[in-house]
Amino acid sequence: MSGNIELLNTTLAAAKAADRAALIAYLPAGFPTVGGGIEAVKAVVAGGADVVEVGLPHSDPVLDGPVIQTADDIALRGGVRIADVMRTVREAYEATGVPILVMTYWNPIDRYGVERFTAELAEAGGAGCILPDLPVQESALWREHADKHSLATVFVVAPSSQDARLATITAAGSGFVYAASLMGVTGTRASVGAQAQDLVGRTRATTDLPVCVGLGVSNAAQAAEVAGFADGVIVGSAFVKAMLDAPDEAAGLAAVRSLAGELAEGVRKR
């Protein structure tokens, strides 16, 4: 079975054709439970998310701030495994029909086996992977198998990335480019910052891929601001925090659906 890179491409193109940015939601697999995590994906899509990133919980998440680290710890203590991540992708995709990517550090894939991981992700209906710590110059094996299984390879660029480096990264990627709005870890912030707009402009000069901005967006006003210059707005910590702060799972699902609705409205107001 082929993966769903084409679904990702057409989804992002449809948002652009509607003169708006896409809303991309991030949620960790296995949080608060495997079943609860699948329901959370359904909830954010029901609220208006166009694309979902399913996080593969990691014990040393170098890009993630304390909110996502807390959720990852809950998932890992609950015994989440890669098989549960694949189940999350499969059931979420079957229920929603939207592109589902996995966001993961490289070590779990390397230990699991690249061919096995890509084949299982494609079979589950996944659209690709976001790989924040895989250097482009070491990515040939991954890209070979991802291409074979019709999976997107999304690399992360940062404000510190020089123009020549941006060109190297974007030439190797597919699906979209993940532009980190600032230097640092994930988390909600008071403002997204001018660095993000500059990074998007410099990245666009190197590629025709959509450029989507993450790190720091947590409300409709920020989503609207970022949607004014980016092709997609990526939100993670705000959704996870809504789940963590809720008194029970049902309230958490209602909270993330409501937040997705606010953010979806925001990306349409750019």
Nearest to 55 by CA among 243, 226, 254, 204: 243
| Those residues with Cβ within 8 angstroms of residue 251's Cβ, 6 or more apart along the chain or in another chain | none
121: amino acid identity, one letter = L
3-state secondary structure of 77: helix
φ, ψ at 134 (rounded to 5°): -95, 115
157: amino acid identity, one letter = V
How many other C-beta atoms lie within 10 A of the C-beta of residue 157? 22
How many other C-beta atoms lie within 10 A of the C-beta of residue 119? 17
Burial 207-240 (b: 16+ CB within 10 A, else e): bebbbbbbbbbbebebbbbbbebbbbbbbbbbbb
Q: Taking the chain, what is the end-to-end CA distance rounded to the nearest angstrom?
A: 38
- Active-site positions read 53, 64
**Bond prior to 247 in cis (omega within 30° of 0):** no
**Do the beta carbons of residue 260 and residue 25 sit within 8 Å?**
yes
Give the number of residues written for the chain: 270
Alpha-carbon distances, residue 47 vs 96, 227, 230, 244 (angstroms): 12, 18, 21, 18
3-state secondary structure of 119: helix
- CA–CA distance, 42 with 44 (Å, rounded to integer): 6
